[in-house]
Amino acid sequence: MAFVKKYIGFFLLIFVFVLLMVGLGSDYNTKSPQKGVAYNPYAVSMYNRSGQVNQQMKVLCDTLTPSTATSQTISIASAGFTKILSATVTAARNTTTIGSMPLATIQSCTTSTLTVNIIDPNMSLITILGSGVLLGGSAVTDPTPSTITLNIIIIGY
């Protein structure tokens, strides 16, 4: 017991040294967002019509319930984009009625703001001689945007 008490500090020092050597090996990148996790910002190759995009890519994925059907502004500044490569917005409503399925269109997209319009396709399904026929009128802004979920995906760097 006297031996353990005398050399406990030395054993703890060796133990900490071994942990540091194992946990901070040279195969880990120091830019990793989590310590001890291998990190490669170019793990997925991205291309546009000019060729490979040699930048660390960012993907913003979000959902939200809009407050308006016209010029709904959504902040995307949290991603810190310097260039947007692709922006996609889809509108979803829990319905099986064709005329109530909303459509989302992108009005504008900058590195900090996405502006979306939501339209109601103004369609109805009628039956003529046993066949379903889809009738459409002029699309109008959706009258109940609060029942819609917007699904947003933005890719850039």
Express each pLDDT in 74-107 by its tens digit: 999 999 999 999 999 999 999 887 778 898 999 9
79 with 155: CB under 8 angstroms? no
The Cβ-side half-sphere exposure at 88, using a 13 Å CA radius, reads 8
Predicted local distance difference test score (pLDDT) of residue 28: 45
The structure tokens 């310097």 sit at 82
Predicted local distance difference test score (pLDDT) of residue 26: 44
- Domain architecture of the chain: domains with CATH: 1-39 (no CATH), 54-156 (2.60.40)
Q: What is the C-alpha to C-alpha distance for residues 102 and 147, in angstroms, rounded to an integer?
A: 10
Predicted local distance difference test score (pLDDT) of residue 29: 45
The pTM of the full predicted model, rounded to 2 decimals, is 0.63
Low-confidence stretches of the chain (pLDDT beneath 50): 25-30, 32
